[in-house]
Amino acid sequence: MTENYDHYISRHIRRVYCRRLVSPILYLIFLMFLWASFPLYDILFPQELDSSEDLSAYTDHHSSYIEATFTDLYFTGYTNESLGRTAGYYYYAQPSKSQPLVIVLLSPSTCEEGLPVIESVRIRGQVLKENPAYHSLLERLAEDLDWTKQGIGKSVSPYFVSEPAFLLLPSVILMTVYFATGMYALLHIVFALIYIQFPVCSPACRQLGRFGKARELLSQAETELATLPQLATEDMFITEHYFIVLAGYGAAIIPIQEILWIYKHSTLHKILWYHFSISYTLHITARKHLHFHCPKNMKSDIDGIMDYLAEANHEILVGFSEENRLKVHGTRSLPVQLEKILTKLKNTYKKQI
């Protein structure tokens, strides 16, 4: 049964980008799960701490990240040590006479490494429940005041505010990675949808547009392919005027008369010492700085394609050799992509002159 090649290139491009929608959509779902499960929003937009409220109202996993202004902070004389360095300085403040004292752990940079009194400071922090370090602080304060730990515990809130616990830098890095990767996935989806709706806008057709009007050339290539290709393998086709690749990794439509050089190289696939297969990659270089390679093909398929292309265009250089490389690329040592950028810059500069 003859395969239907009507609009085969457009249909293939749509299939490729439909498959490519899966990964970014799953990743966005994963990001949404992270957003719902972890306090990412609260880290990004911490809630304002009301000094009239008890700190226990802010100890929920999602509501413990706060932003607050503290006034009349007094240094306790004690610091928080972590891994041999001073992580913070303990201060105390009394929001009102009817409320217990509040302990605030400030970063060294905020308190200038232990100012005795801070009249006013605005920080981002996390409300934490008493921990071993906090218990140790209360014990030392009780000793200094000749008081019992139970007695001082009645005058001091069992919760405290920690500025270092907010982890500002890691939070900024996390948010940057979160939104950058999310935006990348979203753009990937948007472009894939555009290519599905308008295959002529896809990278393969934009590359074809280097040699003329992409829409017209695509229509011509599809018409030639629909009348049955002159040579066809699993994912490579030759029509009267075009070499066409329609593979799972992408597509390419290259006018045969624009091809400059073709060659193949083999890749030995092995696990440890066991050699289980050899695959062949076809490399094609065309005018307008176009280079395309077709990996993981059979040797017989590539040999047939190379022979047919060489017969269709006698100017094509066949086989890899230093002589052929110099004929196509000259003595340049720059990568192809960088050379393309430099060429565009030179052309822009000439137009301005």
Identify the pLDDT of residue 98.
Answer: 74
Q: Name the token pair of 297.
A: 């093909």
Identify the pLDDT of residue 51.
Answer: 65
Q: Is the pLDDT of residue 152 over 70?
A: yes
CA-angle at 277, arms to 275 and 282, nearest 5°: 130
Q: Is the pLDDT of residue 270 over 80?
A: no
Identify the pLDDT of residue 177.
Answer: 94
Q: What kind of fold does domain 42-166 have according to CATH?
A: OB fold (Dihydrolipoamide Acetyltransferase, E2P) (2.40.50)
The helices-and-strands tally (H runs, E runs) of the chain is 11, 14
Average pLDDT over every residue of 111-117: 91
What does the buried/exposed string (b/e) look like for 8-44 if buried means 16 or more CB atoms within 10 Å of the residue's CB? Answer: bbbebbbebbeebeeebeebbeebeeeeeeebbebbe
Identify the pLDDT of residue 90.
Answer: 94
Identify the residue with better confidence: 289 or 349.
Answer: 289
Average pLDDT over every residue of 199-212: 94
* CA–CA separation, 208 and 253 (whole Å): 6
Coil/strand/helix, residue 93:
strand
Identify the residue with better confidence: 225 or 3.
Answer: 225
* CA–CA separation, 290 and 215 (whole Å): 18
Backbone angles phi, psi at 180, to 5 degrees: -65, -45
> pLDDT band for position 158 (50/70/90)?
confident
Q: Name the token pair of 208.
A: 């074809």
Identify the pLDDT of residue 344.
Answer: 58
Query: Fold match between 8-12+202-352 and 42-166?
Result: no
Question: Where do we find the tokens 């008493």?
Answer: 130
Identify the pLDDT of residue 353.
Answer: 44
Identify the pLDDT of residue 339.
Answer: 60
The domain at 8-12+202-352 falls in which architecture? Roll (2.30)
Question: Chain-wide mean pLDDT for the chain?
Answer: 86
Average pLDDT over every residue of 297-302: 89
Average pLDDT over every residue of 328-334: 67
Identify the pLDDT of residue 334.
Answer: 53
Identify the pLDDT of residue 1.
Answer: 39
Domain boundaries, the chain: 8-12+202-352, 42-166
Q: Are 244 and 253 in contact (CB under 8 A)?
A: yes
Average pLDDT over every residue of 241-264: 93
> pLDDT band for position 346 (50/70/90)?
low
Identify the pLDDT of residue 266.
Answer: 86
Q: What is the CA radius of gyration of the chain?
A: 34
Identify the pLDDT of residue 162.
Answer: 92
Q: Lowest mean pLDDT: which of 22-31, 117-126, 139-148?
A: 139-148
Q: Name the token pair of 168.
A: 């500002």
